[in-house]
């Protein structure tokens, strides 16, 4: 078994698994060794054990517990990133690129600069890369993300009033489709199916299986059915109360019937 812990970089919203030979406690500040440099991170989950057969490849490792000097270097890097952001934005504008600066990260050893930006389309940033290298006088890495990933980094409150799922507990983004919206009887034009990222809510996927299973018991909307009061057409269904609204042939407004009171024609 390989011992793992979950860590989170302050500049990013996702939890990352790293290997460790020493035990660390939740909220400890640690220095993470990766292929690109050393970074400060906080432990958010301790003593995770995964069988070797299921262990992801290429995991970073914990170098040691962070010292006061590491914390000072980290704070200095934050100041440097904050002060250099306006110049980076000016260079982006000067190159006429449709991209938004999300954050600037210096590793503890300042061996490179990681610049994250959001853009929905592919961006040709070759000239920008040269301009940034001249400004920072070090190696530059540009990382493009989409609006979902940007929301994960920034966080915020969703329509439900709770912190965004993506910035709290979600690991990978679940696939979300318009079919899920239709399964739950929601309107695409209501504005209540999109998150802060402007895309379909991730939480639509949480209950989709329930709606799919529940709807199997019901006739389709528009189907002809038989009730105790005569034949009618299904206008809507309610999977929670297990009722249907049915438009009878001799009625002007739909009537509500329990599922067991309806016989599907054919």
Give the CA radius of gyration of the chain. Answer: 26
Give per-residue pLDDT as tens, 72-123.
999 999 999 999 999 999 999 999 988 899 889 999 988 899 999 988 788 8
So where are the chain's domains?
2-66, 71-145, 166-211, 224-264
Give per-residue pLDDT as tens, 33-66.
877 788 898 998 887 777 776 677 778 888 899 9
Helix (H, G, I), strand (E, B) or coil at 236: strand
pTM reported for the whole predicted model: 0.67
Instruction: Check if the beta carbon of residue 29 is closer than 8 Å to that of residue 38.
Output: no
Count of other CB atoms within 10 angstroms of residue 250 = 8
Rounded distance between C-alpha atoms, residue 4 and residue 20, angstroms:
6
Biggest distance spanned by C-alpha atoms of the chain: 82
Q: What mean pLDDT is reported for the chain?
A: 85
Q: Give the fold, CATH level 3, of 71-145.
A: GMP Synthetase; Chain A, domain 3 (3.30.300)
């Amino acid at each position: 078994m390989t011992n793992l812990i979950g860590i989170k970089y302050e500049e990013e919203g996702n939890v990352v698994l790293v290997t460790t030979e020493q035990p660390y406690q939740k909220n400890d500040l640690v220095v993470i060794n990766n292929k690109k440099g050393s970074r400060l991170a906080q432990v958010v989950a301790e003593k995770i054990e995964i069988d070797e057969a299921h262990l992801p490849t290429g995991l970073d490792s914990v170098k040691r517990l962070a010292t006061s000097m590491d914390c000072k270097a980290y704070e200095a890097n934050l100041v440097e990133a904050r002060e250099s952001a306006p110049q980076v934005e000016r260079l982006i504008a000067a190159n006429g690129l449709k991209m938004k600066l999300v954050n600037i990260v210096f590793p503890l050893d300042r061996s490179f600069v990681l610049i994250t930006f959001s853009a929905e389309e592919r961006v040709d940033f070759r000239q920008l890369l040269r301009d940034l290298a001249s400004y920072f006088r070090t190696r530059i890495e540009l990382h493009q993300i989409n609006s979902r990933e940007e929301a994960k980094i920034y966080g915020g409150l969703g329509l439900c009033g709770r912190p965004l799922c993506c910035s709290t507990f979600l690991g990978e983004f679940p696939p979300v489709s318009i079919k899920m919206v239709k399964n739950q009887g929601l309107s695409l034009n209501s504005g209540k199916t999109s998150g802060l990222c402007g895309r379909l809510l991730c939480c639509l996927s949480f209950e989709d299986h329930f709606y799919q299973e529940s709807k199997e018991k019901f006739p389709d909307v528009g189907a002809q059915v038989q009730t105790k009061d005569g034949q009618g057409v299904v206008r809507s269904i309610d999977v929670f109360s297990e009722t249907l609204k049915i438009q009878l042939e001799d009625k002007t407004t739909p009537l509500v019937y329990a599922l067991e009171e309806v016989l599907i024609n054919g």
